[in-house]
């Protein structure tokens, strides 16, 4: 059975809980732990969904925020077939009235 696996990157939430308001405040904390990243790289790490993160960086973030990896990343998994069924049977699905059809437009020259 196929499963859909997804994750949520929660670094911005952890920073807000600790009182770090800007991403530049995280740069020296990472440097203290041997992780040298530019301000732009840290900005992307905080504000975008992280796709590739080294284990050293994960360990440094866990040390900075005194948390576990599960606090930084929330993983969700569901069966693919169950997900498809709930998506089509939801309340936001509109049924189309097939008896109403658009009328063909006629273009008339002004000449």
Low-confidence residues of the chain: pLDDT under 70? 82-98, 100-102
Q: What is the pLDDT of residue 9?
A: 93
Classify residue 107: in a domain, yes or no: no
Q: What is the pLDDT of residue 56?
A: 96
- Within a 10 A sphere around the Cβ of 4, how many other Cβ atoms? 13
Classify residue 79: in a domain, yes or no: yes
Classify residue 25: in a domain, yes or no: yes
Find the domain containing 39 and state its range: 3-86
Domain of residue 80, CATH code: 1.10.260.40
The CA-CA-CA angle for residues 61, 65, 68, to 5°, reads: 75
Classify residue 98: in a domain, yes or no: no
Classify residue 44: in a domain, yes or no: yes
């Amino acid at each position: 059975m196929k499963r859909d696996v997804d994750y949520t990157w929660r670094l911005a939430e952890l920073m807000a809980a600790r009182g770090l308001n800007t991403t530049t405040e995280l740069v020296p904390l990472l440097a203290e732990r041997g992780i040298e990243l530019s301000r732009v790289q840290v900005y992307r790490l905080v504000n975008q969904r992280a796709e590739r993160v080294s284990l050293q960086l994960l360990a440094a973030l866990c040390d900075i925020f005194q948390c576990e990896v599960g606090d930084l990343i929330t993983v969700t998994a569901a069966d693919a077939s169950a997900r498809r069924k709930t998506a089509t049977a939801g309340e936001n699905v509109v049924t189309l009235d097939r008896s109403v059809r658009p009328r063909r437009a006629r273009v008339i020259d002004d000449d």
